[in-house]
Amino acid sequence: MRSPERNPWWWCRPAAGLARMWTALRPYVEWVRLRFLLMLAYRVNYYSGIAVYTINIGAYYFLWKALYQGETTLGGLTATQMTTYVAVAWMARSFYFNNVDREMAQEIREGRVAVELIRPYNYLVVKAMQALGEGLFRLCFFSVPGMVLVSFLLPVDLPESPHTWGLFALSLLLSFVINTQLNLLTGLMAFFLLNNEGLMYAKRVVVDLFSGLILPLSLFPEWARAILVLLPFQAISYLPTMIVTGAWTTAQIEQALLVQLVWSLLLVVPIRALWVLARRKLVVQGG
């Protein structure tokens, strides 16, 4: 109905302020719930995925085992820490990974974005919320059971302190935010390029490689590492995964979280700029 009138003094009454915030957020939360339910309805598609991820982790495990012949540490990680790294990195990926860019490109190409623009919500936030619903689904039905399965099969060394897990959860959430922001950016490019297939594919490869999913950053040559720590990609996989391996001190962990936080705030700027620009020069395809 009519929008509730704005009260600039809401912060004077915290309870009312919280209630108002909840009213504002409620529709967005609804998207998380819906996507989660939708994924649940199509869950059979995911059983095959578990096998694929397990094979991936297994393959990397044997590869690393061969590389560790005669060495005790590589890039500051022991063989067991490396196995843990590989397993955790892949399982984390299933949470932060999403196809928001692809979905956006399709909606823009088919002109369905017009329908999104007549709704009283922020299209990009809705897309991010759908991604979160999907991520949460995979976390519950994929990452956690997958991790249990892997820990039976491979010699992984998971931390016991709930404190470390708490920090990891926070870090993982931030890696989801950053990865989704990068996806939104690539997705938004569809407004300008009309066909951003190549860009999306390139982004995917870059993220997998530079985020430290395939190779921990500490194994890159010095010069490459100097560049990679300046990019947002490491914040997606390398930083959260290193927290779990137990190879880092508290100070290092704190710094990692700070880096993630800074990136997730920084990336809001280009997204907003592109969104404003896109809306201004939008051409709706197909009438």
Partner 1 sequence: MYRIEARNLTKTFKTHKSRPGLLGALRDLFTRQYTTITAVNGIDLLVEEGEMVGYIGANGAGKSTTIKMLTGILMPTAGFLRVNGMDPHRERERFVRTIGVVFGQRSQLWWDLAVQESFRLLQHVYRVPDDVYRRHMGYVIEVLDIGDLLDRPVRKLSLGQRMRCELAAAFVHNPPLLFLDEPTIGLDVLIKMKVREFLREMNRTYGTTILLTTHDLSDIEALCSRVVMLDKGRILYDGSLEELRRRWAEEKRVVVEFARPVPVEDLNRHTADLPVTWEQEHPYRSRAVLHQGDGALVSSLLARLQTYPVTDVRVEETSTEEIVSRIYAEGMARA
Three-state DSSP class for 74? Answer: strand
Shortest Cβ 240–partner 1 spacing (Å): 32
Taking the complex as a whole, the smallest distance from the CB of residue 113 to partner 1 amounts, in Å, to 9
| Residue 216, φ and ψ in degrees, nearest 5 | -60, 145
**Whole-angstrom Cα distance, residue 155 to residue 92?**
18
Map tokens 């843990």 to a residue.
84
Nearer to partner 1, 45 or 69 (CB): 45
Nearest to 180 by CA among 116, 129, 121: 129
Q: Are 155 and 75 in contact (CB under 8 A)?
A: no
Shortest distance, position 247 Cβ to partner 1, whole Å: 44
Between 46 and 64, whose beta carbon lies closer to partner 1?
46
The two tokens of residue 163 are: 């404190």
Q: How far does CA 213 lie from the centroid of its chain?
A: 12
Whats the size of the chain, residue-wise? 287
Number of other CB atoms surrounding residue 32 within 10 Å: 19
What is the smallest separation between the CB atom of 258 and partner 1, expressed in angstroms?
Answer: 33
Look up tokens 């059983």; give the residue. 47
- Is the Cβ of residue 34 or residue 63 nearer to partner 1 in the bound state? 34
By beta-carbon proximity to partner 1, the closer residue of 41 and 148 is 41
Of 134 and 256, CB closest to partner 1:
134
Shortest Å distance, C-beta 13 to partner 1: 20
- Rounded distance, CA 197 to CA 187, Å? 10
Q: How far is the CB of 30 from partner 1 (least distance, A)?
A: 5
Residue among 37 and 224 whose Cβ is closer to partner 1:
37
Residues that bind partner 1 (CB under 8 A): 1-4, 23, 26-27, 30, 34, 38, 41, 111-112, 114-115, 117-122, 279-280, 282-284, 287
Written as six digits, the tokens of 135 are 């991520």
- Find, among 223, 134, 117, 113, the residue nearest to 176 by Cα: 134
Round to whole Å and give the CA distance between 242 and 76. 11
C-beta of 31: minimal distance to partner 1 in Å?
8
Give the CA distances from residue 261 to residues 36, 86, 221, 253, 257, in Å, rounded to whole numbers and listed in that order. 26, 24, 26, 12, 6
Between 120 and 162, CB nearer to partner 1: 120
